[in-house]
Amino acid sequence: MASSSSTEQQMTKTSVHYFGQSSEFEDAFSIEIIESLKEDYGLFVWPCSIVLAEYVWQQRLRFSGASVVELGAGTSLPGLVAARVGSVVTLTDDSNRVEVLDNMRRVCDRNELNCKVEGLSWGVWDEPIFSLHANIVLGADVLYDNSAFDNLFATVAFLLRNSPGSVFVTTYHNRSGHHLIEFLMVKWGLKCVKLLDGFSFMPPFKASGLSGNIQLAEIVLKTDGGEVYE
C-alpha cells in the first residue's frame, strides 16, 4: 500500500497561480492546484482555465456573493478563484470520473475553500442538476469535443432557465467547430452578449506563457435581452 501511495504522489505536481500583486492589491492571493502527470485531460490546468480564472479575478466585484456553478471543472481553477473572491461555488464534472471529482475535493481542502463538488454529466437529467440555481455558470475549454456540444448546450440552457437572468461565461480555443456552436446556440435559444479575445485582458507575464486563439464569451437566453455579438 505504501508503494502504491508513493507512486501516486510521484505522478502528481502542484502548480501555484497568482491573482493580483500584493504590492498593489490588498486582496491578492494564490491558488494551489494538484495536477496529474498521467494522460488525463481533466487533471491538468489548460490555458483556457488560466484565462477564465483571470477574468473572474478581474470581475471579482461582480462575482462576490454570486452563486456560481463550474461545468467540466477538472482542476477547477476558475471556480476556486470565484470561491476565493466570495462566490458560493459548486464544482461539477462527469459523474463517471471519480478520480477527477476526488481531486476537486483535494484542491478545495488544499486551498481551504468550501466548495460543493457534484457529479454532473451533460445532457443527463439526474437529481443534482435540478438543485442548481446559479447566477453565473462557468466553463473553461468545454468546447473541445464536437460530439459533446449538443449535450453541453442543453445543460447550459437548462441551468440558465432554472435561474432567470443568469449567464454562461466560457473560454475556448477558436477551432473549426465555430459554425456548429452558432447552430446549437440557436437551437437551444441562446445568444452571445460579449465576445473577447482571451489575451486582451491578460497581464503580459501570464499571456507570455500561453498559446492558441482563445476567446471568452458570455452567453444568455435569448429572452433575457441584451445586444448580440455575431
Tens digit of pLDDT for each residue in 7-39? 455 588 999 999 988 767 778 999 999 998 775
Q: How do 29-36 and 67-71 pair as beta strands?
A: unpaired
Model pLDDT for residues 175-212, shown as the tens digit of each residue = 756 788 889 999 999 999 999 999 999 999 899 989 88
The pLDDT tens digits of the residues spanning 72-94 come to 999 999 999 999 999 999 999 99
Q: What is the mean pLDDT of the chain?
A: 89
185, three cell numbers: 446556440
Q: Quick one: how far is CA 5 from the chain centroid?
A: 29
Query: What radius of gyration do the chain's Cα atoms show?
Result: 17
What pTM does this model have?
A: 0.91
pLDDT of residue 228: 47
Confidence of residue 42 (pLDDT cuts 50, 70, 90): low
